[in-house]
Amino acid sequence: MNMIVPESTRGVSARPPVRWRLCWENDLELADHIELSDFFRKTYGPTGEFNAKPFEGHRSWAGARPEIRAIGYDDRGVAIHIAALRRFIKIGQTDLLVAELGLYGVRPDLEGLGITHSIRVMYPVLRDLGVPFGFGTVRAALQKHITRLLGRQGLATVLPGLRVRSARPDIYLTVPPTRVEDVVGLVLPIARPMSEWPAGDTIERNGPEL
């Protein structure tokens, strides 16, 4: 899959349209990684120097390597990015296949538009992948924001109060190899209804966060 999907932000403050490219990770060229690395450093840098550090050296991922990406371009280059990775997570005693969503970024001038457009673009991608659910996490401080943009529009079910344990992408002698975070979960029912999402507020990611 390596295609251009027309998806426009036209009509909102006369912004130029965004053209979406869906591509498998193996389809990215060196120039794509360099461009995306620059995009992530500029996008995450203002939130803290450490947040931009994983993208040094032309690296276009932070933890786990994505499987498929949706990249939004406009006349200024990369505007929006979101990625997905199929994996099994463990909720209680239940192993569950999900497409984890992550590596979300939006250029500052498009704030407020990016996440809703990204999720809408990813829905048909996740259906084609045949996964039961899409799954992602955000910081607890973003619960109201993400509920307004996604929950109230029916684009995702917001699950507050989750505790997720993940493997660190690198090994350090001074910290444990895993970390536990209190987060807000986002669930997108794809091939199965939300009623079949397992009960439980503790999730084992069994790998690095996307």
What pLDDT, on the 0 to 100 scale, is given for residue 192?
A: 96
pLDDT tens profile 24-49: 999 999 999 999 999 999 998 887 77
Domain boundaries, the chain: 19-204
Residues of the chain above pLDDT 90, percent: 70
Count, residues in the chain: 210
The topology under which CATH files domain 19-204 is: Aminopeptidase (3.40.630)
Tokens of 124: 């048909």
User: What tens digit of pLDDT does each residue of 143-161 get?
Assistant: 888 888 888 888 899 999 9
pTM: predicted TM-score of the whole model, two decimal places: 0.88
- Dist. CA 179–CA 176, nearest whole Å: 7
- Rounded to 5°, the CA angle 74-187-157 comes to 95
What is the arithmetic mean of pLDDT over 93-119?
A: 87
Sign of the dihedral through C-alpha 169, 174, 178, 179 = negative
